[in-house]
Amino acid sequence: MSGDGNAADQGPAHRTIELAVAAGIGIFAILVVYGALQAGIGWGFEGPKAGFFPFIMGTILIGATAMNLWHAFQGSRTKVFADWGALKQVGAVTIPIAVYIVLIPFIGIYISSAILIAYFMQRISSYGVVRTALVSIGVPLVTFFVFERWFLVALPKGPLEAMLGY
Amino acid sequence: MAEFANLFNGFATVLAFQDVNIFGTQMYLPFNVFLMVVGIVLGVIIGVLPGLGGANGVAILLPLTFSMQPTSAVILLSCIYWGALFGGAITSILFNIPGEPWSVATTFDGYPMAQQGRAGEALTAAFTSSFIGAFFAVIMITLLAPMVAAFALRFGAAEKFAVYFLAFASFVGLSKEPPFKTLAAMVIGFALATFGTDHMTGSLRLTFGSQYLLPGFDFLIAVIGLFGIGEILLTMEEGLKFKGKDAKINLRVVLDTWKKLPAYWWTYLRSCLIGCWMGITPAGATPASFMSYGIAKRVSKNGKNFGNGEIEGVIAPETAAHAAGKSALLPMLALGVPGSPTAAVLLGGLLIWGLQPGPTLFTENSEFVWGLIASMYLGNVVGLIIVLTCVPLLAAILRVPFGIIAPIILMFCAVGAYTVRNSFFDVIMMLAFGLLGYLFKKTNYPLAPLVLAMVLGDRAEEAFRQALVGSGGSLGVFFSNGLVSTIMALGFIALFWSVISAGLSRIRGTAPATAG
């Protein structure tokens, strides 16, 4: 949507993201109103039904979003949201976090964390193998003792911990 | 006076020796003082590290306190909050990086001072100002909170809703973000709070047939995602590099600085008052620090030199930020309406520990309330000593590169999100909230009202519906007597004032269609 060629070279236009965020909120608002209507917005035996309050909130949100969309439309077309290089950095963090979260149910939080720390230290910064190994094994190990042994809080564990008897 | 007797009982609670089992060793020690020191050290570290702030630091650690006594738990968590307030100043002055939003104004004069080799002086001034601002606020809480609570005991459902309405309306009014964005963020919070079981009728709503939505969204997950993950994504985008100034802080520097400070008594008093006002109304510490800096710049005879390393430019924002940060607990304790996101997380903690925040707390859980207030006095002193002595150590933490710090913070966020309800879905939601937080920050939607609305959603809705049940459905109940009408009218003034002022400057002739 960024009409200005110059801005598009550096990164997405701020206006585009602004409109997308407002549109996303609008969809959420419509979902809330729809769900509220399903739950009933009228007057029941115990007073207002369950959907009454969410319905009001959803309606206000639709109104506010309409205003925000309108403002966003009038916004500058040339202002850049963030340049592509910076967004790449954001992506370079978001994707590993997503993978990390997906791994947790399968191999447990401790091993996943070790992999996450090692990945960051190797890819995003460049550390030596020895230091990477020390930090990425040491931190989850300390966390393990703090949570499982001292605070007696059970965190997700995988096959390795099971082999060791936890 | 009854307050002083209560306060001394509070001190006794905090200082009491207890038999405790720490890591398998039986010990006899003043456990609450121990927790206070642990809390402040943790809090300062949290305040210093990017991506870990007061609100999500407390949110991550909250699940670990579920099994503790409420008084000990709140002492630990509130001290983390005080520690984070102190910690923000260190990064602002030494690194020109505000560790917390409320220390942005401290960078204006604090960093130039550090560049001129006056880092020790700037830090001493900042910590001392924080101490004074906080101390002023605690005295105010001691004197005013019981009175406000006693007054609020008379509140019925309609008055309770009116107080919530006033709090959220002034958010829209005082926020520096566009009013419709503030409104949208706030209403998103209220809407998120309604997912799952309706507590009044027990029926389900907004679950869309999904079992994951049955328990609703927990605000702790939102806090960890919005403030923790969101902050890390922002930091990555900005490609943060730490290049800090060295801090030499010793007794001599501290004493020399202290000699200069009494001359600024008027700046202190003014900043304390601004801070307390902004803290009680839910504007919070960040606008308080900016406002105090702005006014100091205008009235000071050295005003022209502000921005080039003027000590008054450090004193004003730090005093106000701490006065606001602490006084945010007054409405939380007395009315059940938190004045800042971190206070909101603490309020969530009260509910989890089985306490009802609000005026009844003072009558039914007086040991808890006064223990907390006493711990605020003591924690402030302990905090000042810790930060003055540990600056070199804390600056060293900041030199640990982000490539190591970031994944460790991410791990703690995931652990914190999981432990809230032992749910993987929550960990996924944490990332979703993180992306949302990043986008919202970039597009100027404020996060604080969203979190506050999520915490208070159930209670505000309950007050609203109960008031309507009492009146048989008539909205007239919100204007049925002098008290409730006054609060509602103040709320509408706050709400409309913002819409009108925005209308004057930007949109012409737009009707305030969103008054709810």
pLDDT number for residue B356: 84
Which residue from A minimizes the CA distance to B460? A53
Which residue from A minimizes the CA distance to B183? A64
Q: Which chain B residues touch A108 with a CB distance below 8 Å?
A: none
Examine the predicted complex and report whether its ipTM is higher than 0.90: yes
Q: Show the tokens assigned to B380.
A: 């402030």
Q: Which chain B residues touch A82 with a CB distance below 8 Å?
A: 237, 442
Q: Judge: B233–A57 Cβ closer than 8 Å, yes or no.
A: no
Helices and strands counted in chain B (H then E) = 22, 4
pLDDT number for residue B65: 85
Task: Please give, rounded to a whole number of angstroms, the shortest distance from the CA of B214 to a CA of chain A.
Answer: 13
- Between A63, A89, A113, which is nearest B411 by CB? A113
pLDDT number for residue B244: 59
- Between B191, B201, B440, which is nearest A58 by CB? B191
Q: Which chain B residues touch A97 with a CB distance below 8 Å?
A: 229, 410, 431, 434
Is B413 within 8 Å of B224 (Cβ atoms)?
yes
Which residue from B minimizes the CA distance to A149? B23
Residue B106 identity (one-letter amino acid): T
Which residue from A minimizes the CA distance to B424? A105
Say which DSSP state A157 is in.
Answer: B
Which residue from A minimizes the CA distance to B436? A21
| Residue B83: CB atoms within 10 Å | 30
Cα-based distances in Å from B36 to B73, B172, B375: 10, 35, 8
- Between B191, B207, B431, which is nearest A57 by CB? B191
pLDDT number for residue B511: 45
Q: How far apart are CA B42 and CA B80, in angstroms?
A: 6
Q: Which chain B residues touch A36 with a CB distance below 8 Å?
A: 194, 205-206
Q: Judge: A101–B514 Cβ closer than 8 Å, yes or no.
A: no
Helix axes A52-74, B179-194, angle to 10 degrees: 150
Q: Judge: B188–A117 Cβ closer than 8 Å, yes or no.
A: no
Q: Judge: A57–B442 Cβ closer than 8 Å, yes or no.
A: no
pLDDT number for residue B168: 85
pLDDT number for residue B211: 86
Most confident of A119-123, A161-165, B96-100: A119-123
pLDDT number for residue A4: 43
Is A151 within 8 Å of B64 (Cβ atoms)?
yes
Q: Is B291 helix (H, G, I), strand (E, B) or coil?
A: helix
Q: Judge: B236–A90 Cβ closer than 8 Å, yes or no.
A: yes
Q: B314: closest CA among B118, B40, B139?
A: B118
Task: Please give, rounded to a whole number of angstroms, the shortest distance from the CA of B427 to a CA of chain A.
Answer: 7
Q: How far apart are CA B124 and CA A16, in angstroms?
A: 46
Which residue from A minimizes the CA distance to B23? A150
Which residue from B minimizes the CA distance to A93? B233
Q: How many Å from the N-terminal Cα to the C-terminal Cα in chain B? A: 43
Residue B408 identity (one-letter amino acid): I
pLDDT number for residue A33: 95
Q: How far apart are CA B402 and CA B420, in angstroms?
A: 27
- pLDDT averaged per 10 residues, chain B (length 516): 79 80 69 90 83 81 84 91 84 76 82 87 91 93 88 86 86 78 94 90 86 87 89 78 63 85 91 86 73 86 85 92 87 82 86 85 87 90 88 75 85 90 92 95 89 86 90 88 89 75 59 41
Q: Which chain B residues touch A17 with a CB distance below 8 Å?
A: 439, 442-443
Q: Which chain A residues touch B206 with a CB distance below 8 Å?
A: 31-32, 35-36, 39, 54
pLDDT number for residue B135: 93
Task: Please give, rounded to a whole number of angstroms, the shortest distance from the CA of B238 to a CA of chain A.
Answer: 7
User: What residues does each domain of chain B span?
Assistant: 33-237+245-505
Dihedral over alpha carbons B59, B60, B64, B67 (to 10 degrees)? 20
Q: Judge: A68–B208 Cβ closer than 8 Å, yes or no.
A: no
Say which DSSP state A79 is in.
Answer: -
- Between B414, B440, B445, which is nearest A109 by CB? B414
Q: Which chain B residues touch A35 with a CB distance below 8 Å?
A: 205-208
Confidence of residue A21 (pLDDT cuts 50, 70, 90): very high
Which residue from B minimizes the CA distance to A35? B206
Is A114 within 8 Å of A140 (Cβ atoms)?
yes
Alpha helix (H) residue ranges in A4-157: 5-10, 14-39, 52-74, 84-119, 129-144
Q: Is the pLDDT of residue A113 over 90?
A: yes
Q: Which chain A residues touch B238 with a CB distance below 8 Å?
A: 86
Q: Judge: B204–A54 Cβ closer than 8 Å, yes or no.
A: no
- Between B187, B237, B427, which is nearest A86 by CB? B237
Is B433 within 8 Å of A100 (Cβ atoms)?
no
In this complex, how many residue pairs, one in chain A and one in chain B, have their CB atoms less than 8 Å apart? 188
- Between A25, A93, A101, which is nearest B414 by CB? A101
Q: Judge: B188–A28 Cβ closer than 8 Å, yes or no.
A: yes
pLDDT number for residue B445: 93
Say which DSSP state B67 is in.
Answer: T
Q: Judge: B64–A125 Cβ closer than 8 Å, yes or no.
A: no
Which phi and psi angles does B216 have, rounded to 5°? 80, 180
Q: Judge: A124–B403 Cβ closer than 8 Å, yes or no.
A: yes
Q: Which chain A residues touch B439 with a CB distance below 8 Å?
A: 17, 21
pLDDT number for residue B505: 66
Task: Please give, rounded to a whole number of angstroms, the shortest distance from the CA of A47 to a CA of chain B.
Answer: 5
Alpha helix (H) residue ranges in B284-365: 285-299, 312-327, 329-335, 341-352, 360-364
Buried/exposed B417-435: b ≥16 CB within 10 Å, e otherwise = bbbbeebeebbbbbbebbb
- Between A43, A60, A139, which is nearest B473 by CB? A43
Average pLDDT of chain A, as a whole number? 87
Is B240 within 8 Å of B402 (Cβ atoms)?
yes
Buried/exposed A59-86: b ≥16 CB within 10 Å, e otherwise = bbbbbbbbbbbebbeeeeeeebbbeeeb
Task: Please give, rounded to a whole number of angstroms, the shortest distance from the CA of B447 to a CA of chain A.
Answer: 14
Which residues are within 8 A (CB) of A162 and not within 5 positions of it... i.e. 6 or more apart?
A: none
Q: How far apart are CA B232 and CA B217, in angstroms?
A: 22
- State the best of B197, B205, B240, B433 to mutate against chain A, taking most chain A CBs within 10 Å: B205
pLDDT number for residue B499: 60
- State the best of B35, B411, B478 to mutate against chain A, taking most chain A CBs within 10 Å: B411
pLDDT number for residue B501: 65
Q: Judge: A116–B514 Cβ closer than 8 Å, yes or no.
A: no
